[in-house]
Amino acid sequence: MKEHYYLDNAATSWPKPEPVYTTMDKFFRSYGVNPGRGDHEMAVEAENMVSETRRMLAAFFNFGGDPNRVVFTQNATDSLNIGLYGLLNEGDHVVTTRLEHNSVLRPLNHLQRDHGVDVTFVARDAQGYVDPEDIGRAITPKTKVVVVNHASNVLGSVQDLEAIGKFSRETGSVFVVDTCQSAGVLPIDMDDLGIDVLTFTGHKGLLGPMGIGGMIVAEGIEVRPARVGGTGVDSVSPFHPDAYPYHLEAGTVSVPGIAGLNAAQKWFAELGRQLLGSAAGNVSHTQACRAALGHVHAVERAHTERLESAFRDLEGVTVYGPNGARYRVATLSMNIDAMPADQVGAMLDADYHVCVRTGVHCAPLAHKDENTVDKKGTVRFSPGYFTDDEDIDQAIAGVTELVTG
């Protein structure tokens, strides 16, 4: 019997790989200081770690540009706000989808209400997939930004970024992608997919701590800074520097958070090298991490398949989102027809120690389309890489007992 059966990795991954804990502790104790070039030895060591993390993340997302264009923020919400407010002006049009998280919807709603930006919310099919042609049809000559969530945090469906990116590129709009639910699980090739602004959060699939996120801004894309202030460089200038990463990084960033992300990146690469075995040779960080991601996705997928097939077999249960073999991440939403979602979550927690998330998951339009608002949203199970069969057995047993009484 475990104390907790944690199936809430879409909210935040837990546990983290062991080196994330040990590295953060070591960072704080040995050189947990403000990074700075050319200052004292400890500051240089901290700066080197931060720069190394930018390089690893650039490689992880296959971004061939200057790693200084990997900018650290607090989280994906912060990155999306910086990106959307920094790109859009009065009179601009934005294309997005009805699957977005509030970290996209709310900035866009505020920009629409208060700043004269026009927004089109593209529909999706019953399983949670947006037809890229619909994105193409929604683009107008005024479209400045196309912003989509790669993988839905409610349904787990994964959008065809390649096809959407093609429409965005052909029409000269800026392609912004929210990778919160896919980074650390699916390979994402920023350059090949034509992503102009890739936003990520550190604490979900990337297996880092909370309070660290980021964005990668392709060369040639101009994002106005949301905040200006101290950067430690060019301090005599009355104005904020144009050079990246400082352009979008003002004030002290979460260096302990970056240390955790650094350790998580090395953990992915190490896992990939172990999986490749003798074929690992001198593989790059990108290649090693790609091998790891294939494995992580397969492990998580197997857990989701077990949950999905057990839930679909139960009378009185509705499972939402992708059916069968469509490309998806591990996030799985369901409801017990006779009970509101929050009651199911509370009973799973109290009686079975199963940790799931219930509610609207900050994606209100997804729930309006599923007619789940009156059910108080859905019960969301999200296995992670460290989930084991016992967690899944317990979840299935709990739901089965709740349904069959």
- Residue 226 in 3-state DSSP? coil
Closer by beta carbon to ligand PLP, 107 or else 213: 213
Taking the complex as a whole, the smallest distance from the CB of residue 103 to ligand PLP amounts, in Å, to 4
Interface residue with ligand PLP, options 23, 53, 77, 157 (CB under 6 A):
77
Pick from 14, 33, 70, 34: nearest CA to 264: 14
Pairing relationship of beta strands 357-359 and 118-122 according to DSSP bridges = unpaired
Q: Assign residue 253 a region: left if phi > 0, alpha if psi is -120 to 50, beta otherwise?
A: beta
Tell me the torsion sign for CA atoms 74, 78, 82, 84. positive
148 is a contact residue toward ligand PLP (CB under 6 A): no
Candidates 44-52, 72-80, 251-259, 333-341; binding stretch for ligand PLP (CB under 6 A): 72-80
Question: Is residue 324 a contact partner of residue 347, using CB atoms and an 8 Å limit?
Answer: no
157 is a contact residue toward ligand PLP (CB under 6 A): no
Taking the complex as a whole, the smallest distance from the CB of residue 71 to ligand PLP amounts, in Å, to 15
7 is a contact residue toward ligand PLP (CB under 6 A): no
Interface residue with ligand PLP, options 181, 231, 287, 387 (CB under 6 A):
181
**Binding flags for ligand PLP, 187-216, as an x/- string (CB under 6 A):** --------------x-----------x---
Neighbours of 112 (CB within 10 A): 14
- The CA angle 111-246-78, to the nearest 5 degrees, is 35
Closer by beta carbon to ligand PLP, 201 or else 286: 201
103 is a contact residue toward ligand PLP (CB under 6 A): yes
Interface residue with ligand PLP, options 54, 93, 101, 367 (CB under 6 A):
101
What ranges in 251-384 are assigned the alpha helix state H? Answer: 255-276, 285-312, 341-352, 364-370
153 is a contact residue toward ligand PLP (CB under 6 A): yes
97 is a contact residue toward ligand PLP (CB under 6 A): no
Closer by beta carbon to ligand PLP, 77 or else 335: 77
Question: Is residue 291 a contact partner of residue 306, using CB atoms and an 8 Å limit?
Answer: no
Closer by beta carbon to ligand PLP, 47 or else 249: 249
149 is a contact residue toward ligand PLP (CB under 6 A): yes
Peptide bond into 107 cis (omega under 30): no
For the chain, counts of helices (H) and of strands (E): 12, 13
Binding site for ligand PLP (CB under 6 A): 75-77, 101, 103, 149, 153, 178, 180-181, 201, 213
